[in-house]
């Protein structure tokens, strides 16, 4: 198996972890606490600015990593060279295979702040080891899938092509970023490796260099039309969009029509006043008898620029989005965290909670389940995070709970017609509990959930805040632990 296959399968990533995870593991090991079983939650506290939902993504990458998680000789040699770890602990790592149980929200589902999107139950050593990789996979993919969903909402159903690889954070930022962008709604990517690795559809036009490499723009366009008559999108701004690019493109499309080809003219604008140029270009093409041209725009677009171009009546009906999508430019990190919530003691689970000076950073204790409440039209109304051992009654009507940040305060969700269970088993006994899901299925799930989500959560500015409550039992427990820190 060649290099990239190993990469896609997330092999050789055992050392993709923070050094303190390994020192903590070795510490717990030497303290004789290696068999203590714990439960950790992955969640984020805040959505990116202006954003009312997140598209959960990255779980498939994490499961690939888990299935292939082994320390090889070169890993152990490196760790030994640091002079910090003793041979017994290195032998433990050599024999390590994942024994964790993982439950998670299905990839492509919508998630909201404070919701445990992934829950890992494992020995404290293993749970610690997995932290960094889990966060790395989930944070980035969820960030990009969410950004892509916003861009696609702004494009109002018109195709969005992701082409950010050249500005992505390394090859993996590009490849798994393309995967996440597709899950979030993009129709295709320019990234061929993402096409090979994950089956994301690939697309593209041509670059300025194609035009510049021919003696004239017209010759360059003719050559491109000759080579790619079926996918002939001409980039018209190398020299002068209106004086040269569009007239030359029209001439080539006319020549194709004269040769009897059924041609839909297609151009790409990559600089200048996109609103004005698109209207002018549209008028020129209509004047030449091409009523329905495809006009693709690119050049540092994001959801706000797309919405603004639409507001101006720009004649654009295809969108190429690169830098701002693949880096989530206006907020390039999702601050997801992974927090200890419970420790097994005998046959019991003891809930744990982090307090700290920032009340915001207080965690929700205990092992959990999560319920999503739907109305009679199957639109989500709100979610309830509950203790696993005390699930609230799956009921219609009104569900009572407590506020996440002020768990002494009661709250409720009304008009519930159906309740769905969000956390499902995905990994046990060293392997996935179901086959990997292809990206088109993940994309379809996200599309369906976004379609069902009421408009007020999908606004590009000031979205409504989706309701996430703690169950009565969880709220009471959290309230008690906050007021009695010795219980935390």
The structure tokens listed for 186 are 């993009």
Strand ranges across the sheet with 418-421: 410-416, 397-403, 468-471, 380-387, 368-374, 418-421
Question: Cβ closer to a copy of itself: 64 or 383?
Answer: 64
Which phi and psi (to 5°) does residue 29 adopt?
-60, -50
Size of the site for a copy of itself (CB under 8 A): 114
- Closest by alpha carbon to 426, among 61, 129, 34? 61
Q: What are phi and psi of 169, to 5 degrees?
A: -85, 80
Of 131-139, 252-260, 367-375, 412-420, the segment contacting a copy of itself by CB under 8 A is: 131-139
Instruction: Specify whether the backbone of 99 is left (phi greater than 0), alpha (psi in -120 to 50) or beta.
Output: alpha
Beta carbon of residue 292, minimum distance to a copy of itself (angstroms, whole number): 24
Under the criterion CB under 8 A, does residue 22 sit at the interface with a copy of itself?
yes
Residues numbered 206-225 forming contacts with a copy of itself, rule: CB under 8 A: 206-210, 212-213, 223-224
Residue 429 CB, shortest distance to a copy of itself, in Å, is 23
132 binds a copy of itself (CB under 8 A): yes
* Position 438 contacts a copy of itself (CB under 8 A): no
Distance of CA 236 to the CA centre of its chain: 33
CA 151 – CA 165 distance, rounded (Å): 17
Distance, in Å, from the CA atom of 427 to the CA atom of 121, rounded to the nearest integer, reads 10
Which range binds a copy of itself by CB under 8 A, 151-159, 356-364, 366-374, 426-434? 356-364
For β-strands 294-297 and 266-269, DSSP reports them as parallel
Nearer to a copy of itself, 7 or 92 (CB): 7
Nearer to a copy of itself, 72 or 378 (CB): 72
Minimum distance from residue 208 beta carbon to a copy of itself (Å): 5
CB of 415 to a copy of itself, least distance (A): 38
Regarding 92 and contact with a copy of itself (CB under 8 A), the answer is no
Report the alpha-carbon distance of residue 355 to residue 488 in Å, rounded.
7
229 binds a copy of itself (CB under 8 A): no
187 lies in the site for a copy of itself, by CB under 8 A: no
170 belongs to the binding site for a copy of itself (CB under 8 A): yes
CA-based end-to-end distance of the chain: 49
Q: Answer yes or no whether residue 195 interacts with a copy of itself by CB under 8 A.
A: yes
Least gap, CB of 285 to a copy of itself (angstroms): 18
Rounded CA-CA distance 189/321 in Å is: 10
481 binds a copy of itself (CB under 8 A): no
User: In whole angstroms, what is the distance from residue 21 CA to residue 129 CA?
Assistant: 6
| Residues 50-79, mask of contacts with a copy of itself (x by CB under 8 A) | ----------------------x-xx--xx
Measured from the CB atom, is 318 or 382 closer to a copy of itself?
Answer: 318
**Interface positions, 243-282, toward a copy of itself (CB under 8 A):** 271-273, 277
> If binding is defined by CB under 8 A, does position 166 make contact with a copy of itself?
yes
Asked whether 406 and 416 are in contact (CB, 8 A), the reply is no
Q: Using the 8-state DSSP alphabet, how is residue 437 labeled? A: P
The residue among 376, 423, 372 whose CA lies nearest residue 399 is 372
Nearer to a copy of itself, 173 or 454 (CB): 173
Looking at the Cβ atoms of 339 and 445, the one nearer to a copy of itself is: 339
Question: Taking the mean position of all CA atoms in its chain, how far away is CA 360?
Answer: 24
Locus of tokens 């020192």:
23
Nearer to a copy of itself, 213 or 395 (CB): 213
Q: Does 391 bind a copy of itself (CB under 8 A)?
A: no
Q: Alpha-carbon distance 17 to 10, whole Å?
A: 13
Interaction mask 324-343, a copy of itself, x per CB under 8 A: ---xxx--xxxxx--xx--x
**Interaction mask 300-329, a copy of itself, x per CB under 8 A:** -----------------------x---xxx
Binding of a copy of itself by 344 (CB under 8 A): no
What distance in Å separates the CA atoms of residue 18 and residue 103, rounded to the nearest whole number?
Answer: 23
| Cβ burial, residue 74 (10 Å; 0-12/13-18/19+) | exposed
Give the nearer residue to a copy of itself in terms of CB position, either 4 or 436. Answer: 4
């Amino acid at each position: 198996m060649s290099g990239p296959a190993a990469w896609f399968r997330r092999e050789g990533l055992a050392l993709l972890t923070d050094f303190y995870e390994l020192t903590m593991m070795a510490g717990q090991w030497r303290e004789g606490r290696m068999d203590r079983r714990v439960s950790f939650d992955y969640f984020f506290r805040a959505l990116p600015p202006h954003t009312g939902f997140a598209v959960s993504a990255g779980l498939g990458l994490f499961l690939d990593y888990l299935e292939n998680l082994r320390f090889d000789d070169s890993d152990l040699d490196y760790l030994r060279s640091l002079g910090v770890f003793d041979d017994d602990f290195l032998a433990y790592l050599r024999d390590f295979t994942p024994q964790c149980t993982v439950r998670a929200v299905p990839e492509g589902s919508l998630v909201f702040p404070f919701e445990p999107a992934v829950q890992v139950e494992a020995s404290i050593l293993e749970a610690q080891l997995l932290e960094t990789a889990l966060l790395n996979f989930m944070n980035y993919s969820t960030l990009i899938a969410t950004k892509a969903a916003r861009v696609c909402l702004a494009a109002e159903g018109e195709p969005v092509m992701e082409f950010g690889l050249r500005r992505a954070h390394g090859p993996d930022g590009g490849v798994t970023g393309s995967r996440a962008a597709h899950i979030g709604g993009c129709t295709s990517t320019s990234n061929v490796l993402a096409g090979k690795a994950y089956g994301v559809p690939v697309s593209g036009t041509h670059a300025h260099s194609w035009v510049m490499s021919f003696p004239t723009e017209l010759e360059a366009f003719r050559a491109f039309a000759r080579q790619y008559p079926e996918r002939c999108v001409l980039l018209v701004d190398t020299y002068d969009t209106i004086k040269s690019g569009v007239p030359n493109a029209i001439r080539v499309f006319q020549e194709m029509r004269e040769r009897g080809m059924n041609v839909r003219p297609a151009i790409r604008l990559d600089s200048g006043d996109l609103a004005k140029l698109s209207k002018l270009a549209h008028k020129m093409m209509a004047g030449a008898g091409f009523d329905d041209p495809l006009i693709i725009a690119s050049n540092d677009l994001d959801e706000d620029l797309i919405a603004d171009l639409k507001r101006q009546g720009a004649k654009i009906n295809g969108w190429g989005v690169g830098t701002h999508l693949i880096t989530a430019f206006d907020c390039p990190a999702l601050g997801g965290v992974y927090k200890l919530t419970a420790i097994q003691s005998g046959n019991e689970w003891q809930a744990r909670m982090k307090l700290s000076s920032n009340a915001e950073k207080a965690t929700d204790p205990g092992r959990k389940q999560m319920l999503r409440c739907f109305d009679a039209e199957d639109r989500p109304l709100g979610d309830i995070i509950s203790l696993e051992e005390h699930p609230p009654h799956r009921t219609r009507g009104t569900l009572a709970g407590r506020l996440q940040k002020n768990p002494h305060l009661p709250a409720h969700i009304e008009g519930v017609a159906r309740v769905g269970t969000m956390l499902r088993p995905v990994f046990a006994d060293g392997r996935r509990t179901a086959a990997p899901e292809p990206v088109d299925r993940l994309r379809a799930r996200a599309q369906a959930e976004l379609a069902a989500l009421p408009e007020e959560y999908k606004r590009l500015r000031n979205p409504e805040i989706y309701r996430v409550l703690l169950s009565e039992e969880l709220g009471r427990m959290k309230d008690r632990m906050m007021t009695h820190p010795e219980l935390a």
